[in-house]
Chains A and B, each alone.
Chain A
Amino acid sequence: MRDKIRTMETSAGAGSKTFEELLALKETVFRICLGYVQNYADAEDLIQDVYLKAHRSLNGLSNPELGREWLFAIARNACIDHRRKDRLGRLLPFLYEKGRERRQDPAPAVERDERAQALKEAVRNLPEKLRAVFVLHTYGGLSYREIARSLKIKEGTVMSRLNRARTGLERRMKDNADKKA
């Protein structure tokens, strides 16, 4: 019995240590969330949800060495869910408007920049596969290898998708600028 209690205490301690390790990645997770939602307030809310989910399902993490990729996958899924809800909220505003307040983005200089706005719009409109690679690399600062492990694809695929994403973004931004001109 004593052994069992000791094992439980050890696993709880290990879980808490793992969580602290994951907490050290908060800035990377925040950057990923920001890349997906393109809005500071939403990213700040999302990162709370991501860490809450991670805390809840910490016992399900079989290999703590893959904690980074696991956390990034949770963040990505949370962002995709958020996007889905956001779309639904636009269709059915009475479902999601309540209790939802838009906070002021603390990056007014960037907001005012037309080119930055066009980039945000272009990132939002990228196909999911390309967006995931672009956000994880450009916003999250993840290496090709980490992205490949997180998305369960080959490194070569990561590179080609990133290239396609960049080309697509530049084309969209150029189209946007031409329209305005």
Chain B
Amino acid sequence: MPTRKPETAKPGPSPETIVKNEIDSALSAFRASDFEARLRGRIRAESERSGRSRRPGRRSVLAWAGLILVLVSGVSIGVWIRSRAARTGTVLAIFEAALARSPLFRPNPADEPAGRFQQTASPGPLEQTIERALRPLFQEPLAATPGERVSPAPRSITVEELDRKIGELIKGYKLELFFSEYLKKEEDV
């Protein structure tokens, strides 16, 4: 009785053999296909397309993109203005507000009435005192003492004389208190 050999696993074909079989089968199908005819058709269509795109009057993709961008921007600005107008009243008011905010269109302060654009803070106690003290100078006729006319100081006047004259003016207008420190210093000297 013949003894049966133990069954061993049959080694499969090597990767190279499998690849060769696959290539043979695929290549025969490829050879039968109309590869070249399709390719030439595509090349012809492509060259026709590129020829058409070179014709004058035909816009490039970039030009179309630019045109669409401008249109979209225009529509967005229009929508924004409409929405603002609905909130603030008129379209003109929007532009006025925008111009008022813009530093480019801010009016020249020199052309404006004083105080509108150059408003300072309210005067402090020292400024108020000075203003109060000097106010009579601009309201009453200039005089060293009440009733006495003051003649303008000549150019040749010395510093000491000018100092004395100013002292008299101060006394005449009862500004001793305000300039007391100054007068005291003068006396010390």
A residues adjacent to B (C-beta < 8 A): 23, 26-27, 30-31, 34-35, 40, 43-44, 47-48, 51-52, 55-56, 106-107, 109-110, 113, 115-116, 119, 138-139, 166, 169-170, 173
CA A159 – CA B151 in complex, angstroms?
117
The reply to whether A106 and B29 contact each other, CB–CB distance below 8 Å, is: yes
CA A115 – CA B11 in complex, angstroms?
11
Residue of B nearest to A55 (CB): B43
Q: Which residues of B contact A113 (CB under 8 A)?
A: 18
- Determine if B21 is an interface residue (Cβ-Cβ < 8 Å): yes
Contacts A55-B43, A110-B21 given; does A23 touch B26 at CB 8 Å: no
CA A113 – CA B19 in complex, angstroms?
12
Give the one of A23, A44, A113, A119 with max B CB within 10 A: A119
The reply to whether A27 and B30 contact each other, CB–CB distance below 8 Å, is: yes
Contacts A27-B30, A116-B18, A139-B19 given; does A110 touch B25 at CB 8 Å: yes
The reply to whether B36 and A44 contact each other, CB–CB distance below 8 Å, is: no
**In the complex, the 9 A-B pairs of residues with the closest C-beta atoms, listed nearest first:** A106-B29, A107-B25, A115-B12, A110-B22, A116-B18, A119-B18, A40-B26, A138-B19, A169-B15
The reply to whether B15 and A166 contact each other, CB–CB distance below 8 Å, is: yes
The reply to whether A48 and B15 contact each other, CB–CB distance below 8 Å, is: no
The reply to whether B27 and A31 contact each other, CB–CB distance below 8 Å, is: yes
The reply to whether B30 and A138 contact each other, CB–CB distance below 8 Å, is: no
The reply to whether B39 and A115 contact each other, CB–CB distance below 8 Å, is: no
Give the one of B19, B25, B35 with max A CB within 10 A: B19
Q: Which residues of A contact B28 (CB under 8 A)?
A: 106
Contacts A26-B35, A27-B27, A166-B15 given; does A52 touch B42 at CB 8 Å: yes
CA A154 – CA B44 in complex, angstroms?
40
- Determine if B16 is an interface residue (Cβ-Cβ < 8 Å): yes
Partner of A52, one of B16, B23, B26, B39: B39
Partner of B25, one of A109, A138, A169: A109
Q: Which residues of B contact A55 (CB under 8 A)?
A: 43
- Determine if B48 is an interface residue (Cβ-Cβ < 8 Å): no
B residues adjacent to A (C-beta < 8 A): 12-13, 15-16, 18-19, 21-23, 25-31, 33, 35-36, 38-39, 42-43, 46
CA A49 – CA B102 in complex, angstroms?
56
CA A43 – CA B29 in complex, angstroms?
12
Q: Which residues of A contact B39 (CB under 8 A)?
A: 48, 51-52
In whole Å, how far is B41's beta carbon from the nearest beta carbon of chain A? 10
The reply to whether A30 and B27 contact each other, CB–CB distance below 8 Å, is: yes
A-B contact pairs, 20 of them (CB 8 A): A27-B27, A27-B30, A30-B26, A30-B27, A31-B27, A40-B29, A52-B39, A52-B46, A106-B25, A107-B22, A107-B25, A109-B25, A110-B25, A116-B18, A119-B15, A119-B18, A138-B15, A138-B19, A139-B19, A139-B23
Q: Which residues of B contact A109 (CB under 8 A)?
A: 21, 25
CA A120 – CA B39 in complex, angstroms?
28
Residue of B nearest to A47 (CB): B35
CA A47 – CA B42 in complex, angstroms?
12
Residue of A nearest to B29 (CB): A106
The reply to whether A173 and B27 contact each other, CB–CB distance below 8 Å, is: no
Q: Which residues of A contact B21 (CB under 8 A)?
A: 109-110, 116
